[in-house]
Amino acid sequence: MFTGKLVFAQLMDFLPLHTFRRCVQRYPSPRVTKTFSPLDQFLCMAFAQLTFRESLRDIEVCLRSHEAKLYHLGIRGHVARSTLAYANENRDWRVYCDFAQALIVTARKLYVHDDFGVDLDNTVYALDTTTIDLSLSVFPWAHFRKTKAAVKMHTQMDLRGNIPSFIHISDGKMHEVNVLDLITPEPGSFTIMDRGFLDFGRLYRLTQAAAFFVIRPKSNTLFKRVYSRPVDKTTGLRCDQTVRLAGVKTPDDYPQYLRYVVFYDEKTDKRLGFFTNNFELPALTIAQLYKCRWQVELFFKWIKQHLRIKAFFGTTPNAVKTQIWIAISAYVLVAIAKKRLDAGASLYTILQILSLTLFEKTTLDQLLSDAPLQNLEPSSCNQLNLFSS
């Protein structure tokens, strides 16, 4: 029972504080004031994420207006924008990176048996990259183009629960295909990617590791048909072929056969082709797997719309990475609370509710059990209409 406890404090009770302390001990920051602890910093930043604060002054004014309640929120230090700015710039961002990774491990265990729309026992990942635009005059270290700055967030998402399993934050110059060098292939798993990750040498390493992939070829990819299988065209399938690459270098990069599946979507009048190294699954399942890749796009859109990473509270690399990792921690923490409280509402609905109720004393399970169950996810994209539901 959480009688008399503020909603924010109830949510933070899901944090493994012993793990957080170990992360802090791993990266000591002697220059940061001891009167404003790493936990104070995390709680203030998490509060900013959950209530849509736009600036350090916004955080300070909002929290000081409830100063009598800060102790009950778990915040022991004095909240001031200068102190928070100094902590964001000087306290090692890896503290919050490691803590977010620990939360991700916990969340993935909770969602391991969830259904994601395709009848498949294998682990399925969606891999993609989003670019967060910045001002070059304010963030000169994040040089992207001649007159533009940016950081990139490369994310591999476990589609069971939509929990990010791998995240790498880089400057804008890093090409997304290089992320494949940073990820350890998991035998038997599927990785769904768009054509930006098409590199046959790297894809062949996935095949050698007994991992599967589904990816769209580029328009100039050359290949030859070796064998065709019959397909039921009433399902939208147009072909299911075994092919070999026919480019100048690609046969050396990927010497084995590939499977080529084409699906036609009547609603959008588009033909979509997919390469995969899996020859056992039905062709329609391969097409359905690629449809699930859009979940990582929804994650990026949700992060950008609902969490404060478009307007950064600091301009140094450390401050930017700190804010991104705490934003990810807030996302995963809500997912953990949703699962442990068996809440039927979507993460989008839960976030909207939390943004208005953090200072209330209603029990969290009652608050979420009364939430509407309709899905508030954004739906303005053609990819969401590729297949009939």
Query: 2-42: per-residue pLDDT in tens?
Result: 457 889 999 999 999 999 999 999 988 766 667 888 999 99
pLDDT at 348: 77
Q: Is the pLDDT of residue 226 over 90?
A: yes
Round to whole Å and give the CA distance between 339 and 372: 16
Task: Give whole-number Cα distances, 100 to 19, 261, 301, in Å.
Answer: 10, 37, 19
Mean pLDDT over each residue of the chain, to the nearest integer:
86
Average pLDDT over residues 147-159: 87
Q: Is the pLDDT of residue 183 over 50?
A: yes
Tens digit of pLDDT for each residue in 39-87? 999 999 999 888 888 888 999 998 888 888 888 888 888 888 899 999 9
Q: Are 36 and 84 in contact (CB under 8 A)?
A: yes
* Dihedral pair phi/psi, residue 158, rounded to 5°: -80, 120
Helix then strand then coil, % of the chain, to nearest 5 = 45, 20, 40
Average pLDDT over residues 156-175: 86
Residue with tokens 């059990």: 369
pLDDT at 294: 75
Q: Are 185 and 206 in contact (CB under 8 A)?
A: yes
Min mean pLDDT across 141-155, 262-276, 362-376 is at 362-376
Round to whole Å and give the CA distance between 27 and 184: 25
The reported pTM is: 0.82
Q: Is the pLDDT of residue 204 over 90?
A: yes
Does residue 162 or residue 180 have the better pLDDT? 180
Q: Is the pLDDT of residue 328 over 50?
A: yes
Round to whole Å and give the CA distance between 366 and 97: 32
Q: Is the pLDDT of residue 384 over 60?
A: no
Considering 44-48, 355-359, 381-385, the range whose residues carry the highest mean pLDDT is 44-48
Percent of the chain with pLDDT over 90: 42
Average pLDDT over residues 107-122: 86
